[in-house]
Amino acid sequence: MLRVAVIGGGPSGSCAAEVLAKAGIQTWLFERKLDNAKPCGGAIPLCMVEEFDLPDSIIDRKVRNMRMISPSNREVDIRLDPLGYDDNAYIGMCRREVFDSFLRNRAADLGTTLINGLVLRIDTGEKRQGPYTIHYADHSGAGSTGEQKSLDVDLIIGADGANSRVAKAMDAGDYNVAIAFQERIKLPAEEMTYYENLAEMYVGSDVSPDFYAWVFPKYDHVAVGTGTMQKNQSLIKGLQKGIRERATKRLYKGEVIKVEAHPIPEHPRPRRVVGRMALVGDAAGYVTKSSGEGIYFAAKSGRMCAEAIVEISRNGAVIPTEKQIKSTYLKRWDRKYGATYAVLDILQKIFYRNDSAREAFVEMCGDKDVQKLTFDSYLYKRVVMMNPLQQIRLTLRTLGSLVRGQGLAPKDYTPVPSAVGRSEGDFLAEEAAQAVKAQSKDKATSKDKSTSRVS
Ligand SMILES: Cc1cc2nc3c(=O)[nH]c(=O)nc-3n(C[C@H](O)[C@H](O)[C@H](O)COP(=O)(O)OP(=O)(O)OC[C@H]3O[C@@H](n4cnc5c(N)ncnc54)[C@H](O)[C@@H]3O)c2cc1C
């Protein structure tokens, strides 16, 4: 009887474990930290809710307006209502600590053995063909180091994210990564209402030379972040300052409650299946360019990989071969999503090239055909066919926007206006009052410190 270990209890691992357990295959799911809050914007497409049967309770906000903000701070709203989507359509905004634990617990309820353990090392057998021995620190008891244990299995699914140990064990090869940085900022209730069903995406070389920055709403705070390719890693804190400055009038009353950073893979690893070890999600490298979307693709790849294993192992009755896993899971995945990754890669190269191109990109987002195309492909993961006339119109508009973008690209950036309609005068007065308050607090603290030092 087939024994499978899934390493990593994020969306890819939990969705894989769920399918395996449902099919009656003996499955272990390893997660090093059961309350893990994966650094993430937490935006998910609508189709994921139905496809993965997600309850409303794990979705903090239902966004129906995506605001694109250009380098010159031109704002273009992409609203679902005028595009003819029904009232139930939205982009879901989640907190990963809530989202991940729901999926993990569901896999456990269906029969997966959930192990609160950090996988330290994997013995992979001759020519990495198994059987495999997983050495891990079991953290289910008390103590910070955990209890050293091991487990023998026939097959491993590596769902352990961008720093995957499974990828190392199977010699999957490296991939380029982007570095993402995010602050969770708690806003007063009246400022938070502005983000009730609105998310913002900022573009400009001040916030990222090769990506976008975001303000995504959660239940009582916003996630504010940016990302950039690894070669620009040293710029990341300056870029985060860039997004804070641009959105300052909407965020300045906020309090930073969490700071987080994490790599984002830029393309698949050279080898995703070796022996009976298969990578899924970020471990495999399934985040799309341009949008930086990875949650749906993680869950979907976990599910597709597990479905392939159930099929070729005949519900766990036989042990699958490397060749079988490649010719089912990998082949189906590449056939289904290869074109999506290629198109988004090209779009990133065209529109994030410089500030003129970014101006053009935001201008184009005002076009109804572009909005419908973008939302249909994001929300429902379906390829939308255009008629030849629409294609010609879109090409001409793209060229027009690219030309106009050059004139619009700014030399300096100014912050966007306040979220609650505060005037410039009010803003400056409040800012000055806050600075005075901070100064007197500093003085009081240093006085306290000197007093305590003396005593
Ligand atoms: C700042 C940021 C913002 C993002 N925003 C979005 C967004 O808004 N929308 C979107 O779709 N995508 C977003 N992404 C991408 C998304 O977060 C990932 O694509 C997604 O989390 C991948 O899921 P996964 O299950 O493959 O891996 P992960 O979510 O990374 O899960 C891996 C799990 O494995 C566990 N683990 C790792 N090593 C071990 C080990 N040795 N032993 C045991 N357990 C282990 C970890 O604790 C973790 O729980 C963002 C990424 C970043 C960094």
Question: Which residue's CA is the closest to the ligand 1 atom numbered 1?
Answer: 40
Greatest Cα pair distance in the chain: 82
Beta strands in 147-276 (DSSP E): 147-153, 155-158, 177-186, 198-202, 213-217, 221-229, 255-265, 273-274
pLDDT at 364: 87
Six-digit token pair at 142? 């008390």
In tens digits, the chain (455 residues) has pLDDT values of: 999 999 999 999 999 999 999 999 999 999 999 999 999 999 999 999 999 999 999 999 999 999 999 999 999 999 998 888 888 999 999 999 999 999 999 999 999 999 999 999 999 999 999 999 999 999 998 778 899 999 999 999 999 999 999 999 999 999 999 999 999 999 999 999 999 999 999 999 999 999 999 999 999 999 999 999 999 999 999 999 999 999 998 998 899 999 999 999 999 999 999 999 999 999 999 999 888 999 999 999 999 999 999 999 999 999 999 999 999 999 999 999 998 888 888 888 888 889 988 998 898 899 888 888 888 888 888 766 666 666 666 676 766 766 666 666 666 666 677 777 777 777 777 777 776 666 666 666 555 544 333 22
DSSP SS3 for 230? helix
Cα 303 to chain centroid, rounded = 18
Residue 10 CA, ligand 1 centroid: distance in Å: 6
User: Under 8 Å CB-to-CB from 202, ≥6 apart: which residues?
Assistant: 69, 212, 213, 214, 215, 243, 246, 247
Q: Give the Å distance between the CA of 100 and the centre of ligand 1.
A: 9
Report helix, strand and coil shares of the chain as percent, to nearest 5. 45, 25, 35
Half-sphere exposure of 297 (CA within 13 A, CB side): 26
Which residues have CB under 8 Å from 225's CB, separation 6+? Answer: 41, 180, 181, 182, 183, 213, 214, 240, 243
C-alpha distances in Å from residue 254, one per residue of 95, 188, 258: 18, 7, 12
What's the rounded Cα separation, in Å, for the pair 51 and 415? Answer: 39
The one-letter amino acid at 151: L
| Residue whose CB lies within 8 A of the most ligand 1 atoms, among 30, 31, 38, 151, for a mutation test | 38
CA nearest to 302, candidates 106, 92, 57: 106
Distance CA 181, CA 259 (A): 8
CATH number of this structure's domain 3-37+44-58+95-175+269-340: 3.50.50.60
Kindly give the number of the ligand 1 atom that is closest to the alpha carbon of 164.
Answer: 38
| Distance in Å, CA 22 to ligand 1 centroid | 24
Tokens 């959930």, residue located: 114
Residues 362/67, Cβ–Cβ less than 8 Å: no
pLDDT at 449: 45
Q: Report the residue count for the chain.
A: 455
Token readout for 373 is: 């195309």
**What is the CA(318)–ligand 1 centre distance, in A?**
31
For the CA of 282, the nearest atom of ligand 1: 26
Overall pTM > 0.75: yes
Phi, psi for 186 (deg, rounded to 5): -85, 130
Ligand 1 centroid – CA 161 distance (Å) = 5
Residue nearest to atom 50 of ligand 1 (CA): 40
Q: Angle at the Cα of 15 (from 320 to 122), degrees rounded to 5?
A: 55
Q: Would you list the domain boundaries of the chain?
A: 3-37+44-58+95-175+269-340, 60-93+176-266+353-422, 427-455
- Is domain 60-93+176-266+353-422 classified as CATH 3.20.20.70? no
pLDDT of residue 344: 86
Query: Do the beta carbons of residue 274 and residue 322 sit within 8 Å?
Result: yes
Pocket of ligand 1 (CB under 6 A): 7-13, 30-33, 36, 38-43, 118-119, 159-161, 165, 180, 182, 225, 262, 264, 281-283, 287, 292-296, 298
| Closest atom of ligand 1 relative to the 301 alpha carbon | 26
Question: Rounded to the nearest whole angstrom, what is the distance from the C-alpha of residue 167 to the centroid of ligand 1?
Answer: 15
Q: Give the Å distance between the CA of 372 and the centre of ligand 1.
A: 29
Question: Using CA positions, which residue lies closest to atom 17 of ligand 1?
Answer: 40
* CA of residue 453 to ligand 1 center, whole Å: 45
Select from 29, 32, 200, 279 the residue to mutate for testing ligand 1; criterion: most ligand atoms less than 8 Å from CB.
32
Distance 426 CA to ligand 1 centre (A): 41
User: What pLDDT score was predicted for residue 450?
Assistant: 40
- Give the per-residue pLDDT at 454: 27
Residue of the CA atom closest to atom 35 of ligand 1: 8
For residue 217, cis peptide bond before it (omega within 30 degrees of 0): no
Q: What is the pLDDT of residue 348?
A: 84
Alpha carbon of 250 to ligand 1 centroid (Å): 28
